[in-house]
Structure 1
Amino acid sequence: MNRSRNLAMVVGGAGVLLAFLAALVWRPDGAAAIAQPTTSGSFVGVATCGGTTCHGRSEADGPIVRQDELMIWQDESSPSGAHSRAWRVLAEPRSRAIAQRLGIGEATTAPMCLGCHATPAPSGARGGRFQLSDGVGCESCHGPASGWLSSHYAVGATHANNVSRGLVPLDQPKARAAACLDCHFGSADQGQFVTHRIMAAGHPRIAFELDLFTTLQQHHNTDKDYLQRKRRPNGVETWAVGQAMALERSLGLFVNPARGTEGIYPEFYFFDCHTCHRRISDNPNFEPTAVPNPGRPIPIGMPAYNDENMIMLSAAARVVAPQLAQRFDRDSRNFHAALAKDRASAVAAAGTLRDTVRALGNAFDGGAFSREATFAIVDSITSEAISPRFTDYAGSVQAVMATDTLLSALVASGYINDRTADSIRADVNGAYRAVRDPNTYQPREFRASLGRAAAAIRRLR
């Protein structure tokens, strides 16, 4: 089973894989504007990129780039086409039902939805060929093209020159993570933040892992020309940077008073769904399903902050940035403990933890992720220091996606061959099956399954 199908298994079907993961958006003021881009310029629309001399060919026979990128973007049978389906999915029965419950009118025109299900172009910055119905188009990720459109196909064009004109440098993990997180995790901008209300209305939970999602959406070849123009990609670095930036984003949104609270309650988006959504019973013989978590010093019965990225960062820091690992674990525990006190204490602890996370992200960015480091991170994820923290579904999903990513990175770097990796896939797939349904998740069984996958990888060390 390949990575695309495994992720589809986790998040609920390849047909809506990335389109439905893009967050529906809530504007508390009810205004009709959608998220403002961080890059200035106007949006020229997907059609502008679709010529056969540009990115609209039916075969990947371009002399420098593939030139069939739009065909990949439109692929109806693959997760790689999910961005192009993002707007259309709003007309489907599930989306219409969500919109009805939220009282926002038609999902296809609701600002709450368009911030992520379409390219977020302000009405005054839309060129003549721009269409919301294109969904998440080229410029959602690459930035509004008016400044760099002509320069990027000019004779002698350079990537650096295009970036200076407004092209988003997606070859850099930090820039890519920042772009992806806006919809796949949430942003402070109006129109790009999922809430507990929206999930309660039926929207899927947010799930994100930068390297795995990068693989699903890749529409370029990492060939000699690519390496001459851009940096060499490293899947482990991308994974680690993505984990750090996801947690930094989460903490930044949590401390934002407009995002961290909802009425008299905290905004439950930030908390692990399954610390509340558990089976309950008045039967005197009923056994609670909660498992003690050594990483969360909080009172029993209290919702836990979603710490899936904290667990992964703790595992990575032990290997890549040991000078920060103890500080990170201390600040993580202090943040969990502060949540049991009051919001002021939690906000202060979140700020301290965020500073440490930012330092970790800087340590990961451009870091040396060697063969030995990659194997060591796999060991760290399943070590006695980390694996007891896989007590809830979200953290366990991150763990199996990380193991999958690290295995693929070993193949991509030539450290192990495809045949050897395929022999390990059965164990990885077993771990995926353990997290297929959050309602039947069993943490002890998951840890055993993940441990077998890690042991199979460890034998190659």
Structure 2
Amino acid sequence: MNGGIASLRSRAAAGLAFCLCLGLSLVALAIAFGTPSSTAKAAAGDSATHLGVASCAGSTCHGRQEGDGKVVRQDEIKLWQEESSAGGTHSRSLRLISGPRGQAIAARLGIGDPANAAMCLGCHVDPAARRGPLFQKSDGVGCEACHGGAQNWIQTHYTVGASHARNVAQGMIPLENAKVRAGVCLDCHFGSADAGQFVNHRIMAAGHPRIVFELDLFSTLQQHHNEDADYVRRKGRTDDVRLWATGQAMALERSLTLYSNPGRGTEGVFPEFYFFDCHTCHRRISDEPSARPTSIANPGRPIPQGMPAYNDENMIMLSAAARVVAPELGRRFDADARAFHAALAQDRPSAVAAAARLRETAGALADAFARRSFGRAETFAIVDSIASDAISPRFTDYEGSVQAVMAIDTLLNALINERGVSGGAVAATRAEINRAYAAVKDPNDYRPLEFRRALGGAVRTIRTLR
């Protein structure tokens, strides 16, 4: 593992395991424009029966102890079960919520055993409606949660003459498609309209971690295949920047879709605080006459002082990428984003209408990113854009800053994978990047001006790699 990505993976692995073991509904959205579940999954045909992990586990299939298969590794079950890495987190998802912290959260919520609570099972095990008679609940998040119910393709996907296109036609989910992959992941890593797939503010108040998502990073942590010549021939080469950018666009698209859903956007007399930036409310309060506000103005959020701000971490990253890839669409996006924030200060109908316009523009950006191959020059330009004078003043809160430093590391890793820079050269920038990480280590000690300086220092060092 190269030095440039090691810190990112270790931090994200810890965070992913942490979230999965508490209720894994982290950041889920797909291509849902107001539909009850991900249209990406629906289009891929995931209404088929899930046969269970055992149906994939033969030694001539995916159950080997060594990854020495001619076409695929064939030790995928072993990787899925790996106890010491984030790659095994899905297999532990049900077992982990039965631990002390999961039990404590369930007790606070009054839902009984979390291993049997509908509020938790929507993401910690494959959907009940799709489980076949041989599916084991203890499998947690099994193979078919991502690849689609195997009912119609398990008997043919390994036969002589089988093709990936045929497998997809029979119901396998084409995860090599960035938008489809984002849709599948977001359902349990952000939230969906389906039962048990939304971590509301009440669940977080009970102890569930904050929702966070980054598609390329999560894909890296869960990867159980070799991207060799055969993989590239069948599915194409992975473009890490495309995954990152598409994931950002679709996360925002999902967030706005869920916010606009009256069943998700409000709860009682209050709005659903899940959608808002935690730290615009969770700040130190003082009644001293000399007390000074701890918040600073954000030029991307034209809202009155004292109002909670919609979580704009994905908006900031999208704006940075669009300035490089699709400037005209980026200007439209920035205008729509400002209009949405302003509408939040008016009334819910105005906010929902503005959300629809912003969601449409985010969808257009997702399409633009998903069709594009990103080269070395564009990747460096996006890194510059994230720390530019146009974007940096928007880093006023913890959530957006975390996304920024993850993005910088992800984009550096993409450059290494595409041989745009060497791992050794990136290692020389590690100290500066680690300073940016240190600036977001503790959400309760986050200082925006210090973070901006640290991020700027990291990007100035990265520019030397050109």
**Shorter-chain TM-score tier:** over 0.9
Task: Confirm or deny that 1:254 pairs with 2:254.
Answer: no
Q: CA deviation at 1:6?
A: 3.4
What's the counterpart of residue 29 of structure 1?
A: none
Distance 1:367 1:80 in 2: 28
Name the structure 1 match of 2:449. Answer: 444
Which amino acid letter does the alignment assign opposite residue 334 of structure 2? D
Native 8 Å contact 2:23 2:120 kept in 1? no
1:16 pairs with 2:21 = no
Aligned match for 1:214, one of 204, 219, 228:
219
**Equivalent AA in structure 2 for residue 268 of structure 1:** F
Does the C-alpha gap of structure 1 residues 213 and 20 become closer, same or farther in structure 2, counting only changes over 3 Å? farther
> Which whole-Å deviations, capped at 9, do the CAs of 1:71-103 have from their partners, x for residues lacking one?
111111111111111101111011101111111
The CA deviation at 1:265 is 1.1
Asked whether 1:102 is paired with 2:109, we answer yes
**Which residue of structure 2 lines up, in the alignment, with residue 275 of structure 1?**
280
> Offset of 1:14 from its aligned partner?
6.5
For 1:23, give the aligned amino acid.
S
Q: In structure 2, the residue corresponding to 1:411 is in which secondary structure?
A: helix
8 Å Cα contact 2:253/2:359 also seen in 1: yes
Q: Residue 434 of structure 1 contacts residue 445 of structure 1 at CA under 8 Å; is this kept in 2? A: yes
Q: 1:87 aligns with which of 84, 90, 94?
A: 94
What amino acid is the match of 1:95?
G
Quote how far apart the aligned CAs of 1:3 are: 4.1
Q: Which residue of 1 aligns with 2:403?
A: 398
RMSD over aligned CA atoms reads 1.8
Letter in 2 for 1:43: H
Q: 1:173 aligns with which of 157, 165, 178?
A: 178
**1:162-201 residue pairs with structure 2 within 5 A?**
162-201=167-206
Moved more, 310-319 or 257-266: 257-266
Distance of aligned partners of 1:10 and 1:44 in 2 relative to their CA distance in 1, 3 Å threshold = closer
Runs of 4+ in 1 over 6 A off after TM superposition: none
Name the residue aligned to 1:289: 294
Pick from 5, 8, 11: which aligns with 1:6? Answer: 8
Residue deviations 1:215-258 (CA, integer Å, cap 9, x gap): 00000011001011002110001000000000000001111111
Question: Counterpart amino acid of 2:69?
Answer: G
Displacement of 1:451: 1.1
| Contact in 2 for aligned 1:5/1:14 (Cα 8 Å) | no
Match of 2:30 in 1: none
**Whole-angstrom distance in 2 between the partners of 1:109 and 1:330:** 45
Question: Which residue is 2:62 aligned to?
Answer: 55
Q: Deviations over 1:100-147 (max 9, x none)?
A: 11111100110110000111131xx43233111111110111111111
Deviation at residue 12 of structure 1 after TM alignment: 5.6
CA distance in 2, matches of 1:49, 1:230: 21
- TM alignment of 1:13-412, pairs within 5 A: 15-16=17-18, 18-20=20-22, 22-23=24-25, 38=42, 39-122=46-129, 125-412=130-417
- Distance, in Å, in 2 between the alignment partners of 1:142 and 1:71 is 17
Shift of 1:368: 2.8
User: TM-score under structure 1 normalisation?
Assistant: 0.94
Identity percentage over the alignment?
A: 62
CA contact (8 A) 1:24 1:114 kept: no
Question: Tell me, what secondary structure is at the counterpart of 1:157?
Answer: coil
| Rounded Cα–Cα distance in structure 1 between residues aligned with 2:15 and 2:313 | 22
Between the aligned partners of 1:155 and 1:126, the Cα distance in structure 2 is 28
TM-score by length of 2: 0.93
Q: 1:17 to 1:4 in 2, by over 3 A?
A: farther
The unaligned stretches of length 5 or more in structure 2 are 28-36
Whole-angstrom CA distance in 2 between matches of 1:62 and 1:207:
35
State the shift of 1:309 in Å: 0.3
Displacement of 1:430 after TM fit?
A: 1.9
Does structure 2 conserve the Cα–Cα contact (< 8 Å) formed by 1:21 and 1:205? no
Closer, same or farther: CA 127–139 of 1 in aligned 2, 3 Å:
same
Distance 1:11 1:250, change over 3 A: farther
Q: Secondary structure at the match of 2:429?
A: helix
- Between the aligned partners of 2:174 and 2:26, the Cα distance in structure 1 is 26
The letter of the residue matching 1:22 is: L
Structure with larger RCO (C-alpha < 8 A, sep 6+): 2
How far apart are 1:24 and its partner, in Å? 8.4
Say how many residue pairs are matched.
Answer: 451
Which amino acid is the alignment partner of residue 148 of structure 1?
A: W
Q: Which amino acid aligns with 1:62?
A: G
Query: Conserved in 2, the CA contact under 8 Å of 1:148 and 1:166?
Result: yes
